[in-house]
Amino acid sequence: MNPLERYEPLVDDVEAFRAACARPLPSVVRVNTIRSTTDRVTRAFDEEGVTYEPVSWHDGLLRLPDRDPGTNWPYFHGWTHGQEEVSALPGLALDPRPGERVWDACAAPGSKTTQIAAAMNDEGTVVANDNNLGRLSALRHNAERLGVTNTIVTNADARNYSMKPLAFDEFDRALVDAPCSCEGTCRKNPDVLDQWTLDHVTQVAGIQKGVLTRAVQATRPGGTVVYSTCTFAPEENEAVLDHVLAAEDCELVPFDLPLETVPGVTEWDGETYDPSVRHAHRVYPHHNDTGGFFCATLRVGGDAEDADRVDNTTSDGGDAETGVDA
């Protein structure tokens, strides 16, 4: 069975959904504001004859309909980075601030990590973790090409991540862009539909629950945790949120995204989820001509008197003590 069939009850237009999933995904680049601006990049593209289309909902994203994102000099100079449109959503939801401490729990190959660093003006501390050492080499390469200097790279299982190597014991914000069954990427990688199994969905959902639980535990009271996947499976999306809401002191909060989305589902396959999962956003390919995606924002509970604090920074915005070499 094509796994997309199991999600047809969740979509408003099955024919449009299936047609969109069958079309190739447009190539997109994100402007790296650490090294350039959208105006400079578009001028360079015009001079080089690179065809581009601005993305209507994000002025830092450009579609390149006729070219690979990495075959022009602005890319090699770190002015741009190839990044799928919907991949930019978790960074927008996280809304990191200069000087904060941010954990990217499943960071490689670094598109979201470097987006977060740019949103922070390359100030503060980003801890970019991944359990796959090979993929971390790509993250380090991307960070160096894009001029990121505020990022520490760690190699650990995020489910039992230890703060001991760091000179602080909590994060202001955390992103869990979780490993998943990836049906939402079928427009750029059709093989994921052939490789899909329900057993894998069940297996990876257990990992997702563990990583998101640890992210909530590692984030200060009043802090923000963003959970995202590129799957349509409620077992990996709303069910994971439901599990963590029951186990940890946190709550799902409403937030806006600048494109068409659908609320999270509260019932699936005989299971009922916490009603607040409707605050999550589902992104379907036929609504915005993108890949599929899921994104939710949690607020960590506890004493939040210092919810807006940003401290222990140097005069130029860098973290005064990291305890780990980048």
Per-residue pLDDT band for 303 (boundaries 50, 70, 90) equals: low
- Phi-psi map region of 186: left, alpha, beta (phi>0 left; psi -120 to 50 alpha): alpha
**Calculated CA dihedral for residues 152, 155, 156, 162, nearest 10 degrees:** -30
CA–CA–CA angle 265, 282, 54 (5° rounding): 165
Helix axes 111-119, 133-145, angle to 10 degrees: 40
What is the per-residue burial (b if ≥16 Cβ within 10 Å, else e) of 208-231? bbbbbbbbbbbbbbbbbbbbbbbb
| 185 has a pLDDT exceeding 50 | yes
Active site residue 250: no
Candidate from 53-67, 74-88, 106-120, 242-256 with smallest mean pLDDT: 53-67
Provide mean pLDDT across the span 277-295. Answer: 98
Give the burial class of 313: count Cβ atoms within 10 A of its Cβ; 0-12 exposed, 13-18 middle, 19 or more buried.
middle
Per annotation, catalytic residue among 182, 230, 250, 295: 230
Cβ neighbors of 306 (< 8 A, separation 6 or more) are 220, 221, 222
- Averaged pLDDT of the chain: 92
Q: Where are the domains of the chain?
A: 85-300
Does the pLDDT value for residue 66 go beyond 70? yes
Q: Say how far apart CA 141 and CA 118 lie, in whole Å.
A: 16
Place 65 in a pLDDT band, splitting at 50, 70 and 90: confident
The token pair that represents 304 in the structure block: 């939040």
CB atoms within 10 A of CB 121: 15
Residue count (the chain): 326
Per-residue confidence (pLDDT) for residue 325, from 0 to 100 = 31
**Which percentage of the chain shows pLDDT scores above 70?**
92
| CA–CA distances in Å: residue 30 to residues 88, 122, 147 | 8, 16, 14
Query: Given the DSSP bridges, would you call strands 125-130 and 101-104 parallel, antiparallel or unpaired?
Result: parallel
Query: Euclidean distance between the first and final Cα of the chain, in Å?
Result: 46
pLDDT digits (tens, 9 = 90+) for 267-280: 999 999 999 999 99
CATH domain 85-300 topology: Rossmann fold (3.40.50)
pLDDT of residue 68: 83
Helix/strand/coil for 175: strand
| DSSP string for 150-162 | SEEEEES-GGG--
pTM of the shown model: 0.92
- pLDDT at residue 50 is higher than 70: yes
- pLDDT per position as a tens digit, 233-256: 999 999 999 999 999 999 999 999
Lowest mean pLDDT among 21-30, 47-56, 208-217, 307-316: 307-316
% of the chain surpassing 90 pLDDT: 89
Identify the three-state secondary structure at position 147: coil
Phi and psi at 64, nearest 5°, equal: -115, 85
Dist. CA 26–CA 69, nearest whole Å: 10
| pLDDT tens digits, one per residue of 88-99 | 999 999 999 999
Per-residue confidence (pLDDT) for residue 109, from 0 to 100: 97
Q: What is the pLDDT confidence band of residue 202, given thresholds at 50, 70 and 90?
A: very high
Bridge partners (DSSP) listed for residue 82? 29
